[in-house]
Every structure is written in structure tokens, then in C-alpha cells.
A and B are shown apart, each in its own frame.
Chain A
Amino acid sequence: MLSPPLVLGVSFAYLLLLFAVAGWASRRALQGRSVIGNAWVYALSMAVYCTAWTYFGSVGRAASGGVWFLPIYLGPMLAMLLAWLVLRKMIRISHTYRLTSIADFISSRHGKSPLLAGLVTLIVVIGIVPYIALQLKAIASGYHLMTAPAGQPLSGVGPWWRDSALYVALALAGFTMVFGTRHLNATERHEGMVAAIAFESLVKLLAFLAVGVFVTWGLFAGPVDLFARASAQPELARLLTLDQGKPFPYAQWGALTLLSMLSVIFLPRQFQVMVVENVDERHLKRAAWVFPLYLLLINLFVLPIALGGLMYFGDRGVNADTFVLSLPLDAGWHGLALVAFVGGLSAATGMVIVEAIAVSTMVCNDLVMPLLLRLRTVSQRQDLTGLLLTIRRIAIVAVLLLGYVYYHLAGEAYALVSIGLISFAAVAQFAPAMLGGMYWKGGTREGALAGLLGGFGLWIFTLMLPSIAKSGWWQTGFIEHGLLGMALLRPEQLFGLTGLDPLTHSLFWSLLVNAGLYVGVSLLRAPSAAEASQALLFVDVFDRTRSSRPVFWRGRAQLADLQSLTARFLGALRSQDLFEAYAREHGAANVAAIQPDAQLVHHVETQLAGAIGSASARVMVASVVDEEDLAIDDVLRILDEASQLRAYSQALEEKSQSLQRATAELRAANERLEGLDRLKDDFMSSVTHELRTPLTSIRALTELMVDDADMPAPQRQQFLTIVVAETERLSRLVNQVLDMAKIESGHAEWHSSDVDLLALLHQAAQTVQELLRERGAVLVLELPTTLPLLRCDPDRLTQVLLNLLSNAAKFVPETGGRIVLRLLADAQGVTVEVQDNGPGVPAEQRALVFEKFRQGGTGSRQLQGTGLGLPISRQIIEHFGGHMALRPDQGQGACFAFTLPWAGSSNGAAARPRAQGEAS
């Protein structure tokens, strides 16, 4: 045993440490560097699920039932698999409409009914009291075990003022008040509390693991040794299997899993940390798997500790619920025992603090305030914030004292686990109304009321009353013989249903009746306007963005009334902040300029809901504004308008996007046009320049001849010859320009036929023969012997060939000129190359040869062409689907080549008659 002052001192030091953690987190939050805005902290705070029940009770359960301690943790695993779908929706709904408790959630969903909120609160208080008693019992008996001489039983003897459980309850109440009700917050978030809870989760996990390691490796030689020795004893070996020699009660296994699956969401403290205290929905992504991992870790050593304890103590009659403490204590490891005690203290205090805060919020908002607000003296008071806090503090003390009373009434008779399961079964009653309300729009106020009353009534009759009776405070006759002696009304075999254990039996009947009444009674009438509008807001919460969320309210309001209402419940300062923020958000110049429209009324009501619950907020807002009753048609019309608005805004967004796209396209088109315009200008100036040169010489020569009438005939003849040549050049130029324009504009006429390319090449070679002879050059033909017919326009192709050949002829050297006309054929098409042995094309001009009016060569040679031959040739070849290029210069003259595919012209202009225009 340890000295009481030491245990007490360590306990208080630990609680002070918790305060320090909470205070530190609150200060950080004020500085804007929140510690709880973190998925890991969020996951750890969820582990408030593990209470003294887990810490002490699991081992006790394992010592008597083997793996039966596990379903309570497999359920949360299953629930977390669906967390992203279900829990996220719950978080979104709660944050959007500022719901701060389960009572608020259920009542808000079913038309903001104060009656419903009150009923839910009542169920929570009654259902959760045994659970709080469990924590008190764990701390009190743990303290007793640590300080009493070994073997002395914990007894209730002695006056009540010497009862440690009472002081534990009062100390925890004080502690909770400091954590939870220091000031009023419209979102009911408790930054410091969450940090402290996350810290406690770490402490209890590490303490339990420490004890597990101590038992497994300290008292035994590792898990293999421990299990081997346990298997040697038949009564221990049976704990390691599922059925333990009896037919396995699968119904009970499934019921426990289902029960814990629902509890992990609907227990008030779980709702508080998972939904209300959630900072960011995205934290769920990590917490959903870290939380089950935490549960797995804290359960890892349950079986070793249970088996180890059973083997260590043998038949010394030590309660298995206390193995976590008694093993290290008995082995003389007092330090470890103290750590284990602090771990248990963590588990219990964490649960009590959060549960009491959650329950006190509910009691204040949903039970006491609606009643108080009916009193004139209260509803006329100017500042109600102090009153709200006082009610919550009283509620905390009351809940803990109720727990203490229950501990004295029933706590002695039951194991820890059985007490906890009674509470689990109570909160499971919220499942039909909560889940139904989130996914089904048909639920009504009466449906929810009937379901909850039916389910809760059956819970009291089949589980709560028998548990009290069995504790010896009531005669147990009605359990054996049924209510009023009717065998059909035996609470643990209702209507003669046998074969189930009491918990499964109770869960089956209560949930069946609950869900049946919820659906059945809801279907009796169509939802009212208030119910239908809330149903829409809840079920379709993900479909609506902030701006398009419909506001189901119509009437007239005064800004001043709303301001004074908010000030009364939130305080003048907070109210001022709230309205200023609203003004900024809605573009009003100042608070006085805010339009008191439906949006504002809705905003004020939502903010008030955070402080006093949605049902009370509804009543209070209704008392200061002049509102019209909505019919179900109005709800549908408002919804219609909202969705139309949404559709409009979507359409607008799409339009503006497509406008942006169109603008970009137009800009690009404009740039292209400007480029083309520049090209046209260049072209025009080039053409006029080209035309002026021959015109100038014609004019000069003719003027000479006009002025000098006595010009000798030979000279006149010479001048006339030049004039004729220049006019030819002029008309050639004009023809080419016309040809070019036609091809480019797509107006050119094409006359395609099957062409024997070899014959065409020979003919072209024949045509340039005279020119080549003048230049003293030879033409070498490198042609295959046969070639399939090619589909194209023979005249156009001849034009291209002549252009290339005459170009080559222009550039061959004065002597030894040599031109090669080569044809290569493959599967795709033919390639025709014209190679000369002239100077080649200089590197800087290679890119320009296919541009209009860019002539190769220098000096006198520049004047020999029009500068349109190559561009026209290329256009023609491209028209037939081929392409023309200047081959890389290998230092032996230029080599122009074009390819034509066998497929021929794709432009299909073959049928049209040939144009009159003649091209050179």
C-alpha cells in the first residue's frame, strides 16, 4: 500500500498539469496558433471513448469471458469505416446550423421542437448517470486499493462525509466548471478542454501499455511463455477460444458490436469531441484510422494482463477489475502502480469532464432555458449570459451528484462493464431519429417523439429497472413473474422472447420499437412546413453552398430588436462584433445600414442557436420579429427559388467562362488577321515594286523613241524588242499574281486525271531542252523504268517541274552545268528531286526561298524571275497532299524536292473544268 497523502498529492499534481495544458492551449488559441487544429490531436481527443471501463473493466471482462471485451472496440472500427460518409455529414450539418448537442440536432431536424429537445436531454441525463457512476466507482475503488492494506474490502461503512467517491465527484465538478463554463461561446468550442483530453488520452495509453509490458515481460518471460502457461490450465485455455465450450451466442456478439458502433457516435461526449469540437472536416481523414489504431493498441495487452493476473493471484480472490493496479502493487512496483493509477484517473476524468460539459449544455439549452424563458421576469432581463453560465454550472454539479447517488444505489452490485453497457443502450436510442433525420426527409416531430419515447420506455423496463431491482433496492419478483404477474411482460423475456441475454434482448426490442414508431408515426401525415424545410437543409447539406442556401422565413424585422436580442444572450460586445462582421460580409457601410431581411434574421437565429439551442433560439427570434406562417407550398417555392438562383449563378459562371474563352479566341484571331494584313501590305508593295521596274524601262524607251523621230531603224528595232520583252515580263507577273491569288483563296480550278508521271517528266525535260542548250548545261534523268499512274492535275504538275528546272538552269555555272532530275518511288508516294551544280542557296536565304518575291541569287540574276514561281509551286504540291522542300545543301548545288502521295489530291476539285488562266 501507499500513503494516502502521496496518492492524493500525485493525483492533484496531475490535475494541475491538466490545467496547465488547457491553459497553454487556450493562450495559444488566443494568439491564433491553435494546437487543436491538427488531425492527430483530433484523433486523440476521440479516444475519450476509452474510459475507466476500458482501463479497468476490459481486463475484468477478459478474465471472465476471454475475447468478449473486444466487440466494444470492433464497433467503433466499423463506425470509423463509414466516418467519412456519416460523421462528416453530421459535422457539416452541425457547423452550418450551429448545433451544439444531440438534443439540438434531433430537435432542429424535426421542426425545432422544444419538446423533442427536452425529451432527448432527459434521456441523456438518465442514460448517462450510470456511466458517470462507473467512473466515480473506478476512481474511488482505485484509490482505496492503492491506500488500504491488502485484502481489506472497499465498503460503504462510515459517515457519508468520509466517502472518497463524494469528494471525487465534487472535485471533478469543480474541475469541469473551470474547463467548460468559464465564458460563453456561440459555438460551444472548448479549445483548452480538447487539448487536455488529447493529453489525457496519451497518458492513459502509455500507462496501460506500461502495465502490459510489465506483466508480459516482468512477471512472465514474454507473451509466448505467458500463453503457454495459460494454455496448460484448462480453465484459462478456454478463455482463448471463441465458444469456450458452449454454443457461441452470435446474437450477443453482433448486438455488442452494433451497440458500440452506435455509441461511438451518439454518446454525448463523443458527439462533443467529434462533431462540436471539430475544427476542420478534413481532420477526419486521418482521425478515422488513427482512432481505431489507438483502440487496437490499448487493447493489445488486455488478455495478457487478465491471464497474467489470474495466474499470479491464483485463488486469492482479487477482483479482476483491479488487476491493472493490483499486479504492480503486489509485485512491489509502487512507482508503476502510481503511474497506472494516474492512467486510470486520466481515463475517468476525461470522460467525466467532456460528458458533463456536453450534458450541462443540453440541460441548460434544452431543458431549463425553454422553461425559464416562459417566465416574464427572465425573458425581460437585459443580459442573460451570466444566467446561462450559472445554469450550466449547476447542471454540472447536479449530473455528478446524480452519478454519485447511482453509484451508491447500484454501483456495488455490478461489474464496470455491465454499468457502461446500460448507458450504451440508452444513447443507442438516438440512432433512428439522428440517422433517419440525416438521410430521410419524411421524419416528423411526432415520429421522433414516439420513437424516442417507445425506445426509451422499453430501455427503462427491460434494462434499467431490472438493474436497479437486482441491486437489491426493489423486489425482483417482477423480473421472474412479469409486470403485474403477467408472464408475457417479464422484462428480460418480453412477449416470451427467450434465448437472448438481457442486453441483446433489450437492445432488440427498444431499437425495433423505436425505429418502427419513428417511421410509422412519421408516415401518418405529411411533414409540416417547418419540418420539411429543416429536412431539406439537413439531408441535402452537401448540395448547397453558403450563398445558395435557402432561408425559410418570411416577415418583417427591426434591426434594433435583433441587436438587443443578441446582446441579451451573447453580451453587448460579442453582439456588436457579430453585426459588424455581418455588415462587412454583406457589403453594408455600417451596422445601421444592414437590411433587416430574412438573411439577417436567419443569421441571428443561427448565432443564438449556438448559445441557447436551436429550439430556444427559434422561440426568442419569433418573439421579437413579426413573421408569417409558412405553408408547405411556400417552403417548396422558396426552395425552388433557391435552386433557380443556384442554377442562375452556375449558368452565369459558365457563361463568363465561355466568354473568357471566346475573348481569347477572338484575340488570337485578331492577331492572325493583323499578321495577314501586314503580309498583304508587304505583298502589295512587292507587287507594285515588281511592276514598276518593267514599266519604267518601257516608258523610258518609248519616250526616247517619241522624242527622237529620226532614230535609226536598227536602234528603234532594238528598243522595241526590249519593250516587247518587258511587256511579256509584265503580263507574266500579272498572270502569276492572279494565279497565286486564286490558289490561295481556293478559287483555282483543278483538273485531276490519272497521270503517267514518267511521260510527264520526259515531256518537261523536252520542253527545257532549248533553254538548257543556251546555258550550256546537260540534263540527266534518273528515272525508274515503270511507275503506277498518279492522280493529279498534269498541267499544274508540269508547271511545277518547269519552274524547278528553269530555276536550276538559271543557277548552273556558265560551263559544265549539270542538272539531275531524279524520281524515287516507295509505298507512300513518289519523290521528285531537281539537283543542280550551281552555287547552292546561302544558309541565310534557305528559310526564305519559298516566300513571295524572294529571289535567290545575286546581281543580274536577281532580275530574271518574278519571285512567285517557288511559292506557287509549293501551293500546287500542297494542294495534292504532298510537300516541297529545299534539301540540305551538301555543297554541290541546290536540290529542290517534292513528294506526292499515291492517294493524290484530297481536295476533290477534279470534276471541275479547267480554268482559263494560263500560268507560266
Chain B
Amino acid sequence: MRDRSLSSQRLVALFAAALLLFNFPLLALWDHDLLVWGLPLFPTALFIIWALLIAALAVLMERLPD
């Protein structure tokens, strides 16, 4: 039971982090007109943050008890 509530708290925390990362003002951090490795910074940053969130979610969800 304690395990379960801990996982829930982690999921909520990840949700809060995602909410902050995908909105003003943290989103504006990436808003520069430049290319990184030949890719535009802003869309690249968005996709990388997104991918990292999916990875974190995958780790949390796959370890959940049944």
C-alpha cells in the first residue's frame, strides 16, 4: 500500500513538472533563433523534453505493482 501511494505521488510530481516545462516561462528558455546540430533549437528542445518525459513515465509505469 505504501508502495502504491509513493508511485502515485511520483506520477503527480512528474505531471507537475511536465505542466511547468510545457508552459510559460520555462518554455521561453528555448526560444532562440539558432540551429543546434543543424536543427532549430525550439522544436528540438520541445521534442527532447517530450521524449524524456515519456521515458520517465515508462520507468514509473512499468515498475508499478499490479
* A interface residues with partner B (beta carbon < 8 Å): 66-67, 70, 74, 77-78, 80-82, 84-85, 223-224, 227-228, 231, 237, 240-243, 248, 250, 253-254, 257, 282, 284-286, 288-289, 292-293, 296, 299-300, 303
Contacts and interface: CB of A to CB of B under 8 A. Distances in A.
Contacts of A78: 15, 18-19, 22
Given A250-B23, A253-B27, 19 more contacts: A74-B22, A81-B14, A81-B53, A82-B11, A82-B15, A84-B8, A84-B64, A85-B8, A85-B12, A223-B39, A224-B37, A224-B38, A227-B38, A237-B33, A241-B33, A241-B42, A243-B31, A292-B54, A296-B50
Interface in B24-66: 24, 27-28, 30-33, 35, 37-40, 42-43, 46-47, 50-51, 53-54, 57-58, 61-62, 64, 66
A543 to B, nearest CB: 12
Nearest to A73: B50
26 contacts: A67-B42, A67-B43, A77-B53, A81-B11, A81-B53, A82-B15, A84-B7, A84-B64, A223-B39, A227-B39, A228-B35, A228-B38, A231-B40, A240-B33, A243-B31, A250-B23, A257-B22, A257-B23, A282-B66, A288-B61, A289-B57, A289-B58, A289-B62, A292-B54, A293-B54, A299-B47
Contact of A77 (B28, B33, B35, B54): B54
Contact of B42 (A240, A282, A299): A240
B62 A286 contact: yes
A257 B24 CA distance: 12
A285 B54 contact: no
**8 cross-chain pairs, A with B, having the tightest CB-CB distances, nearest first:** A224-B38, A240-B40, A242-B31, A289-B58, A250-B24, A81-B15, A289-B57, A285-B61
Nearest to B25: A250
Nearest to B61: A285
Contacts, number: 102
A443 B24 CA distance: 34
**Chain B interface SS verdict (over half):** helix
B18 A70 contact: no
A85 B62 CA distance: 15
A286 B61 contact: yes
A417 to B, nearest CB: 18
Given A242-B28, A257-B23, A289-B58, A74 B50 contact: yes
Nearest to A284: B61
A242 B27 contact: yes
Contacts of B23: 250, 253-254, 257
B64 A296 contact: no
Interface residues of B, number: 36
Contacts of B11: 81-82, 84-85
Nearest to B59: A289
B35 A231 contact: yes
Nearest to B19: A78
Nearest to A228: B38
Nearest to A231: B35
Interface centre among B58, B62, B66, by most chain A C-beta atoms within 10 angstroms, is B58
Contacts of A67: 42-43, 46
A284 B58 CA distance: 11
Contacts of A289: 54, 57-58, 61-62
A223 B40 CA distance: 10
- Chain B CB count within 10 A is highest, among A67, A81, A293, for A81
Nearest to B58: A289
A81 B62 contact: no
B53 A285 contact: no
Contacts of B42: 67, 240-242
Contacts of A299: 47
B49 to A, nearest CB: 9
B62 to A, nearest CB: 6
Contacts of A227: 35, 38-40
Contacts of B43: 66-67, 240, 303
B61 A296 contact: no
A205 B47 CA distance: 17
A282 B65 CA distance: 9
Contacts of A286: 61-62
Contacts of B53: 77, 81, 292
Contacts of A80: 57
Contacts of B19: 78
Interface string B1-24: 000000110011011001100111
A250 B23 CA distance: 7
Contacts of A282: 66
Contacts of A228: 35, 38
A300 B39 CA distance: 12
Nearest to A291: B54
Determine which residue in B15, B35, B58, B61 has the highest number of CB atoms from chain A within 10 A of its CB, and name it: B61
A288 B62 CA distance: 10
Contacts of A288: 57, 61
A298 to B, nearest CB: 12
Given A82-B15, A224-B38, A242-B42, A296 B47 contact: yes
B61 A253 contact: no
Nearest to A71: B22
A227 B36 CA distance: 11
A46 to B, nearest CB: 14
